[in-house]
Amino acid sequence: MRTATIPCRATQPGDVLNVLALAIARRWCVAVDLTSGAFVRIHEPSSSETALEPFDLARARAKVAFSDLVNEQPEYVAVEAPLQRTGSLRPRAAEKYLKALLHPRSQPILGLLGPSAPWWEVTGHQTVALIEPETRPVLTNDARGLRCSFGWKGQKQWLPVADARLLQRLPRTPRHPSGAAHIEDVLGFRPARIVVTLTPPRGSQCHKVASGFLPR
């Protein structure tokens, strides 16, 4: 699997991480490490505190460098306590961190032609991509769950949505179609970028999912 060359970091237990949040779920966060400019996938203890929002700045101390399955998620880092918000950046100010991480439009997303791949084919490779889709993302909420479609390399892509904000705010009624205008109403902005991640293995497959939507 061939992907773009992006920054990376070596995390050691006890390191203090200062990050820019991009995509947030219940117990994990995709972020940019402000020191190295690299993607990190932070797994944190559960917390009742207010969840972070994209472009929030946060801090935590690393508990371990990587998971026991180090090669499956090279960006992974666990932290001792939930991330603590320290501020936020406007999208324009965040651009200096994001520009170097944009996935080349000439390459398949995460180097995969399809929506998934066997875990042994992606071992040790990049599991996070920041893309600028060729067309506006469109949501569909039906019996298969919440998905988004968008153009990439002249073809339509369909990915399950793992963005916590959308999952919480959209109607739960099955087969409720939601178009491009609706996603803007839900998020409060026009999404210009998508954070795509690979899931841990489900059976033998790792799947691409849309973990976050960002303005430019």
Sequence ranges of the domains in the chain: 16-90, 100-214
pTM (2 d.p.): 0.88
Q: Are 141 and 169 in contact (CB under 8 A)?
A: no
| Strand 76-79 with 39-43, pairing | parallel
16-90 topology per CATH:
OB fold (Dihydrolipoamide Acetyltransferase, E2P) (2.40.50)
The residue with tokens 């932290």 is 79
Q: Are 87 and 57 in contact (CB under 8 A)?
A: yes
What distance in Å separates the CA atoms of residue 130 and residue 17, rounded to the nearest whole number? 20
pLDDT tens by residue, the chain, 216 residues: 444 556 667 777 888 999 999 998 777 899 999 999 999 998 887 654 557 899 999 999 998 654 444 445 678 888 888 899 999 999 999 999 999 999 999 999 999 988 998 888 877 778 899 999 999 898 887 777 889 999 999 999 999 999 887 877 776 544 555 565 677 877 888 889 999 999 888 888 999 999 999 998
What distance in Å separates the CA atoms of residue 142 and residue 179, rounded to the nearest whole number? 12
Sheet architecture: strand order including 128-131: 116-118, 205-214, 193-198, 128-131
DSSP bridge pairs for 212: 195
Three-state SS for the chain is CCCCCCCCCCCCCCCEEEEEEEEECCCEEEEEECCCCCEEEEECCCCCCCCCCCCEEEEEEEEECCCCCCCCCCCEEEECCCCEEEEECCHHHHHHHHHHHECCCCCCHHHCCCCEEEHHHHCCCCCEEEECCCCCCEEEEECCEEEEEEEECCEEEEEEECCHHHHHHCCCCCCEECCHHHHHHHHCCCCCEEEEEECCCECCEEEEEEEEEECC
